[in-house]
Structure 1
Amino acid sequence: MNRTPVNPWSWSLNLGYNQAEIIEGASRQLTCAGQTSVDAEGSPQHLQDMRNQITLALDNLEAVLNAADMGLTNITRLGIYTTDVDEAMKHLDIFGARFGPVQAAPPMTLLGVTRLAMPGLMFEIEATAVD
């Protein structure tokens, strides 16, 4: 698979993502349902703690990717939903700590929502990955 970043402006690179990417030569696509801060039984964790919710949601996303023999470098699109955009923005360094070392900057969208499916959850990540 070959990825070519498309960035007519550089501001998004400072936030850790590309405006777009051209993907060529991919053979499999994985569409991940929204991953949240839940344990292996689906019980919400870290209620009212945005930083730990983001961390666990990313852990859960990586577990799904690993189960498909993929990793963060395979992600071609992220959709992020949060009940508090300002609070989420304070903790997006977690994404840099995960994606930076593997030199991945997938296009992403961050949306504020009224609530998520489970009460107490504040952060959810959808992903598309290819290899």
Structure 2
Amino acid sequence: MEKRIINPWQWQDERSYVQAVEVTNATGTLYVSGQTAISADGVSSDADMKSQLLLALENLEHVINKAGYSCENIVRLNIYTTNTAELWPHFNIFQEWTTKHNVKQALTLMEVKSLFETLKVELEATVVK
């Protein structure tokens, strides 16, 4: 698999994403359902945004690894949140996670009216190999 990052500007570098990712010669594509702060026994978290973001990232990583893929090969990530202003002070957690895994992904952040039960943030990814 080969990835080519397309960044016609530099300002997005500080925000931990890229403008576009081209993938050629991929041998597989994994479409990951939205991962949230749901425990292994299926209980939705009612914790604060920071705690939910940490668990959602942990769950995303777990699914990707279980499928035999690598977080480094995330090419598309959508973040859904019920409150962007509440998420923003904790965005460094997301940035540290992407740096740790050397993720260079196209990114969309959307504020939505609600998520399942008590959830505040959901991460949806496309991964290649």
Asked if these proteins are the same fold (TM beyond 0.5), I'd say yes
2:94 corresponds to which letter in structure 1? F
CA distance in 1, matches of 2:38, 2:13: 30
User: Hey, what's the Cα distance between the residues in 1 that align with 2:85 and 2:3?
Assistant: 31
Mapped to 1, the partners of 2:69 and 2:94 lie a distance apart of 17
Counterpart-to-counterpart distance in 2, 1:19 and 1:104? 13
> How far apart are the structure 2 equivalents of 1:31 and 1:101?
21
Q: Paired residue for 1:34?
A: 34
The one-letter code of the counterpart of 1:11 is W
Q: Give structure 1 regions of 4+ aligned residues with deviation exceeding 6 angstroms.
A: none
Q: CA contact under 8 A between 2:65 and 2:71: conserved in structure 1?
A: no
Give 2:127's match in structure 1, choosing from 116, 119, 129: 129
The residue that corresponds to 2:17 in the other structure is 17
**Separation in 2 of the partners of 1:11 and 1:27?**
32
Counterparts of 1:1-131 in structure 2 under 5 Å? 1-45=1-45, 47-118=46-117, 120-131=118-129
Deviations 1:41-87 (A, max 9, x none): 21012x24001100000100011001111121121100110000111
The 2-side partners of 1:114 and 1:48 are apart by: 18
Q: Gaps spanning 5+ residues in structure 1: where?
A: none
Question: Percent identity of the aligned residues?
Answer: 38
**1:31 aligns to what SS in structure 2?**
strand
Computed over aligned residues only, the root mean square deviation of the Cα atoms, in angstroms, reads 1.0
- Residues of 1 paired with 2:47 and 2:68: CA distance? 32
Q: How many residues align?
A: 129
Unaligned runs of at least 5 residues, structure 2: none
- TM-score in terms of structure 2 length: 0.95
